[in-house]
C-alpha cells in the first residue's frame, strides 16, 4: 500500500471514516426528509402552493448567501467547525418545526436551516478531499455520494411513513433525535489542521479560483447537469402524473435513487483508473438518452424504468466525477471556497432550469422540451470530449 501523508495516517482511520459517513447519513436523512415534507407541512398549516414554493426558494437562496461566510471559515478554521454547525442546525430545526404554529414561522425556520445546507454541504466534500488518499479520491468521494443517495432513499420514506401513521409532530421529534445524535457523534471525528492561516475574503478567493480555466470548465459541467436536474425534480413528477397508463409514477424517483447509489459505487472506482473525460462523456450521453426516453412513456410505460436508471446514473455519476476532479485540481487552502462555488452553482442552475423549462412548456410542450434539453446535453458532452482529446494530442 502506498504510504500516506501524516494527516491521512492519523485521521484516515477506519473508525474515523465510519463515524464521518454515519454522521453524514444522519444529516442527509434529515435534509432529504425536510425537502419532501416541509411543502406538505405548510399546506397542512393552511398555506398555499405559493408558500410551499417560497420556502424552497428562500432555503436555497439563503444557503447561497451564508456560504459567503462559511466557505472561508472552513478553509481558515478547519472543516470540523462548519461540520458541527451544519449538524447542529439540521438537528435543531425539527424541534423548532415542532413548535411552529404558522406558515410564516416555518418559512423563517427554513431560512435558519439553510445555514446547515451552506455549512455541511461545502465542508463535507472538502473533508473527504483533505483526508482521503489522493490515488483513491474517486472511491472515497463515491462513498460520500453513496451516503447522500442513501439519505434520499431513506429520509423521505421514513418521514412520510411516520407522518401517515402518526403525525408531523411525531416525525419532528424523531428527526430531532436523529439530528442530535449526528451532532454528538461529530465531536469524535478528527480532521487535519487548516493550512490557510490568513483571513480569507470570499469574493477575492472566488476570483482566484475562477482564474483557473480547468476549474471554470468543471463548474460549467456541474451547471449543465444541475440545470437539467432542476427540470427533472420539478417537472418529471407532473409529466408522469399525466400518463394514464402509469399506476404509480412515484416509483420513478425510487429507481432514480437506486441508480444513483450504484453509480456512486461504480463510478467512484472507475475514476481512480480510467479517463474522467471518457467517463463523463458516457454519463452525459446516458442522461440525454434518459430525457429522450421520457417522451416515450405515454405509449411504452416500461420506458419510465430505463429512463429513471439512465437519469439517476447520469446525474449522480457526473456530479461525482466533476466534484472529484475539482478536489484534485484545487489547492487544500482553497478547497472549501471551491466547493462553496460548486454548491452555489448547483442551487442557482437548478432554480434556473425550473424557470426556463416552465417557459418552454407553453411554447413547445413537454415532449419537445425534454427532447431539446436532452440533445443539448449530449452535444455539450461530445464537444467537451472532443476538445479534451484535441488538447491532449498537442
Domain residue ranges in the chain = 1-187, 199-394
Cell numbers placing 237? 413528477
Q: Which of 150-159, 295-304, 326-335 has the lowest mean pLDDT?
A: 326-335
Amino acid 285: pLDDT = 92
pLDDT tens figures, 269-292: 787 767 777 888 889 999 999 999
Helix axes 14-44, 103-131, angle to 10 degrees: 160
Is residue 225 predicted with pLDDT exceeding 80? yes
Q: Pick from 387, 341, 369, 326: which is nearest to 137 by CA?
A: 326
Across the range 25-45, mean pLDDT stands at: 87
Amino acid 376: pLDDT = 93
Q: Compare 175 and 140 and report the one with higher pLDDT.
A: 175
Q: DSSP states of 313-365 as a string? A: HHHHHHHHHHHHHHHHHS-GGGHHHHHHHHHHHHHHHHHHHHHHHHHHHHHHH
Across the range 256-270, mean pLDDT stands at: 83
Whole-number Å distance between alpha carbons of 325 and 170: 42
Whole-number Å distance between alpha carbons of 145 and 148: 5
Whole-number Å distance between alpha carbons of 257 and 226: 16
Across the range 21-38, mean pLDDT stands at: 90
Among 3.10.129.10, 1.20.1250.20, 1.10.1740.10, 1.10.3720.10, name the CATH number for the domain at 1-187: 1.20.1250.20
CATH architecture of 199-394: Up-down Bundle (1.20)
Task: Please give the share of the chain, as a percent, with pLDDT higher than 70.
Answer: 88
Spatial contact of 87 and 29, defined as CB atoms under 8 Å apart: no
Across the range 359-386, mean pLDDT stands at: 89
Across the range 234-253, mean pLDDT stands at: 73
pLDDT-derived band at 175, boundaries 50, 70, 90: very high
CA dihedral 186→189→195→197, nearest 10 degrees, is 40
Top mean-pLDDT range of 35-44, 232-241, 371-380: 371-380
Amino acid at each position: 500500500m502506498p504510504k500516506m501523508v501524516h494527516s491521512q495516517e492519523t485521521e484516515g482511520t477506519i473508525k474515523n471514516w465510519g463515524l464521518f459517513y454515519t454522521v453524514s447519513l444522519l444529516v442527509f436523512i434529515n435534509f432529504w426528509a425536510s425537502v419532501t415534507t416541509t411543502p406538505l407541512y405548510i399546506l397542512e398549516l393552511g398555506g398555499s402552493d405559493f408558500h410551499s414554493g417560497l420556502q424552497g426558494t428562500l432555503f436555497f437562496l439563503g444557503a447561497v448567501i451564508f456560504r459567503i461566510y462559511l466557505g472561508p471559515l472552513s478553509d481558515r478554521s478547519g472543516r470540523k467547525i462548519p461540520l458541527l454547525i451544519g449538524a447542529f442546525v439540521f438537528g435543531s430545526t425539527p424541534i423548532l418545526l415542532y413548535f411552529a404554529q404558522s406558515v410564516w414561522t416555518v418559512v423563517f425556520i427554513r431560512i435558519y436551516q439553510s445555514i446547515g445546507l451552506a455549512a455541511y454541504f461545502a465542508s463535507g466534500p472538502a473533508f473527504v478531499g483533505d483526508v482521503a488518499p489522493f490515488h483513491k479520491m474517486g472511491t472515497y468521494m463515491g462513498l460520500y455520494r453513496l451516503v447522500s443517495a442513501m439519505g434520499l432513499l431513506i429520509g423521505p420514506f421514513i418521514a412520510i411513513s411516520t407522518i401517515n401513521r402518526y403525525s408531523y409532530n411525531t416525525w419532528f421529534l424523531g428527526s430531532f433525535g436523529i439530528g442530535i445524535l449526528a451532532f454528538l457523534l461529530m465531536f469524535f471525528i478528527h480532521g487535519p489542521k487548516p493550512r490557510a492561516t490568513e483571513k480569507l475574503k470570499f469574493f477575492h478567493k472566488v476570483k482566484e479560483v475562477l482564474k483557473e480555466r480547468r476549474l471554470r470548465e468543471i463548474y460549467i459541467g456541474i451547471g449543465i447537469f444541475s440545470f437539467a436536474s432542476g427540470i427533472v425534480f420539478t417537472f418529471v413528477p407532473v409529466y408522469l402524473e399525466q400518463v394514464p397508463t402509469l399506476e404509480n409514477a412515484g416509483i420513478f424517483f425510487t429507481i432514480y435513487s437506486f441508480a444513483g447509489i450504484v453509480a456512486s459505487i461504480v463510478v467512484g472506482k472507475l475514476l481512480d483508473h480510467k479517463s474522467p473525460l471518457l467517463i463523463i462523456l458516457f454519463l452525459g450521453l446516458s442522461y440525454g438518452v434518459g430525457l429522450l426516453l421520457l417522451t416515450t412513456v405515454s405509449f411504452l410505460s416500461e420506458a419510465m424504468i430505463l429512463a429513471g436508471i439512465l437519469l439517476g446514473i447520469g446525474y449522480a455519476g457526473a456530479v461525482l466525477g466533476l466534484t472529484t476532479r475539482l478536489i484534485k485540481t484545487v489547492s487544500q487552502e482553497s478547497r472549501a471556497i471551491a466547493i462553496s462555488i460548486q454548491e452555489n452553482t448547483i442551487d442557482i442552475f437548478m432554480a434556473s432550469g425550473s424557470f426556463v423549462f416552465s417557459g418552454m412548456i407553453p411554447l413547445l410542450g413537454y415532449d419537445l422540451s425534454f427532447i431539446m434539453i436532452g440533445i443539448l446535453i449530449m452535444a455539450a458532452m461530445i464537444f467537451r470530449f472532443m476538445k479534451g482529446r484535441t488538447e491532449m494530442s498537442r
